Chains A and B, each alone.
Chain A
Amino acid sequence: MSVDKDTVRRIARLARIAVPDARLEPMAAELNGIFQWVEMLGEVNVEGVPAMTSVVAQKLKWRRDEVSDGGQADALMANAPEGEDHFFIVPKVVE
């Protein structure tokens, strides 16, 4: 299967990354090189093989559903590129 310029534009949109038009073609070529190489996985018979979901045999731990931390609005806002009174500022979303 081959990735073209329009596919790159579509996945870049899905990934929310602005890729300049001039980069679409070269990026398609790079991705094609990589996808052609991973095609070799197709030659392996994986019928009946379970997908790996955890690399170590361990049951996921349970904990009580209770608040264990919080009240740290100042710390949370400390790295915000734009914020005011414990709110993050974004462009207008709802007209």
Chain B
Amino acid sequence: MPASVSDELTRMTLAEARDALRAKRISSRELTGAFVSAIEAGRPLNAFITEAGEQALHMAAASDHRIARGEAGELEGLPLAIKDLFCTRGTRTTAASKILGDFVPPYESTVTQNLWDAGAVMLGKTNLDEFAMGSSNETSFFGPVINPWRANDSNASLVPGGSSGGSAAAVAADLCLAATGTDTGGSIRQPAAVTGRVGLKPTYGRCSRFGIVAFASSLDQAGPMTKTVRDAAIMLKTMASVDPRDSTSVDLPVPDYEKLMEGPIKGLRVGIPKEYRIDGAPAEIDTLWTKGAEWLKAQGAEIVEISLPHTKYALPTYYIVAPAEASSNLARYDGVRFGHRAAGPRDITDLYERSRGEGFGAEVQRRVLIGTYVLSAGYYDAYYARAQKLRTLIARDFASAFEKCDVLLTPSTPGPAFAVGAKTADPLEMYLQDVFTVTVNLAGLPGISVPAGLTANGLPLGLQLIGKAFDEGTLLRAARAVEDAAEFAHSPAKWWSA
């Protein structure tokens, strides 16, 4: 297939590809073949840990048969990339950790099963920060992901954000139609923002966590990473479900988000939280935020100044709660039942300690140690119990804000993508990347990042919208209004396949 035809296929949105397949203008085999080639050409980005091209072409052929027989599912024949935190039966699932480097799950996560049941095609498993712990995709055992975007004045490699950095890069570089991500403190929205694409973290309990490698169970939530808001709505409809295998999966029917997304925003009350104006943030962030509010106002929304007084305590609260949960979730990696096992253990304790010492990278070890410390005898009340109370106060902030408005508008990140290696020396500086996103996880709310503009240097920035619990419909409608007004049509130059 000539390169130009192939480019035309891979540049399509999920909705466009769906409609083209339904109208039989293209076949899933053609479409999938174009992505398999794009992924090979895209290897310098290191977006994938495991490519599954051959299997993808088989799945595509099966989809073409179903389409021909008139049995097409909602996502029939659409090639997707899956964050390597979702267990996929028979396909290696690593969590980007050495400790799970050879793990081949004997079962499928509910979210991915929902996608395959709807006819989607799996292109491969994308890179991430180890166990989803990071904001730049630099803690992966399989090496950093390179952001497809470069600044106008430099060829330096930039990070794609994290932890869903591989998924973000794959969507931005047209290596897939859409991807799955997971978001514990910003891991969908932050990478989507710095790669100029859409990332949606649904309400806690909307997507099943069954079969997703656990990081912090009370915060983790799966969601789509896509080229457009409509695509996010399409993906969420299939990813979300009520799952008896996840006790926190909420018993609410899944609505048709693509329908709910349509319609004007006249009269919608949009809250602007004053605490999200932070010292030292680049002026471009503030300017874009103001512009976003103006865009919504011009479409008939009412802008309301609101206050979330406990905002500054969100990150420190998160860095107690998340490591505490991680330390207990990661206790299962013991070198006995699966995963890396140290050679020649002296005794059982030595087996545990060296398997974990060798198998976990530096950031994971740091967080397991923080978690162990804050849960240990004598410190529990001072740290963990206090953090859980702070979490209540943060959730209450949102509850009172939502008495005055329907959605909130904030920046997605404190800045654009930064250079590989720029923030790895100081963990705290890296943690601050999630300053605008982490509050949403602590309160269990849905949030979406929408590409809204470029910096003077040509790097994408996003705006975040936050919704009420299980009100993804309104959230998507507001996101669509931002998307329409921003008219963000930029894509990175394909320097990697030159």
By size class, the interface of chain B is: 35 or more
Closest Cβ neighbor of A57 among chain B residues: B469
Binds A, one of B54-62, B64-72, B351-359: B351-359
Contacts of A41 in B (CB 8 A): 313, 316-317, 320, 386-387, 390
Q: A42 — which chain B residues lie within 8 A by C-beta?
A: 386
Cβ–Cβ < 8 Å partners of A50 in chain B: 389, 392
Complex interface: chain A residues within 8 A of B383 (CB): 38
**B389: chain A residues within 8 A (beta carbon):** 46, 49-52
- Chain B at the A interface: mostly helix, strand, loop or mixed? helix
B451 CB to nearest A CB, Å: 28
Is B347 among interface residues, defined by CB-CB distance under 8 A? yes
Q: Who on chain A is nearest to B384 by CB?
A: A51
Cα of A75 to Cα of B89 in the assembled complex, Å: 11
Q: Is A67 an interface residue (CB 8 A)?
A: no
Quick one: which of B340, B350, B372 contacts A15, CB cutoff 8 A? B372
Contact with A along B406-437 (1 / 0, CB 8 A): 00000000000000000000111000000000
Per-position binary interface string of chain B over residues 91-113, scored 1 when its CB falls under 8 Å from any chain A CB and 0 otherwise: 00000000000111011000000
Q: Is the CB of A80 within 8 A of B395?
A: no
Q: Is the CB of B247 within 8 A of A55?
A: no
B369 contact from A27, A52, A63, A90, Cβ within 8 A = A27
| CB of A14 closer than 8 Å to a CB of B | yes
The answer on a CB contact under 8 Å between B372 and A79 is no
Q: How far is the CB of B113 from chain A (nearest CB, A)?
A: 15
Q: Please state if A34 and B348 are interface contacts (CB–CB under 8 Å).
A: no
Q: How far is the CA of A90 from the CA of B346 in the complex (A)?
A: 10
Q: How far is the CA of A23 from the CA of B218 in the complex (A)?
A: 31
Instruction: Give complex CA distance A31, B366 in Å.
Output: 8
In the complex, 22 of the A-B residue pairs with CB atoms within 8 angstroms, ordered by the A residue number, are: A8-B369, A12-B369, A14-B372, A16-B331, A16-B334, A16-B353, A17-B353, A17-B356, A33-B428, A37-B319, A38-B320, A40-B316, A41-B316, A41-B387, A44-B390, A46-B390, A56-B203, A60-B247, A72-B106, A82-B341, A91-B345, A91-B347
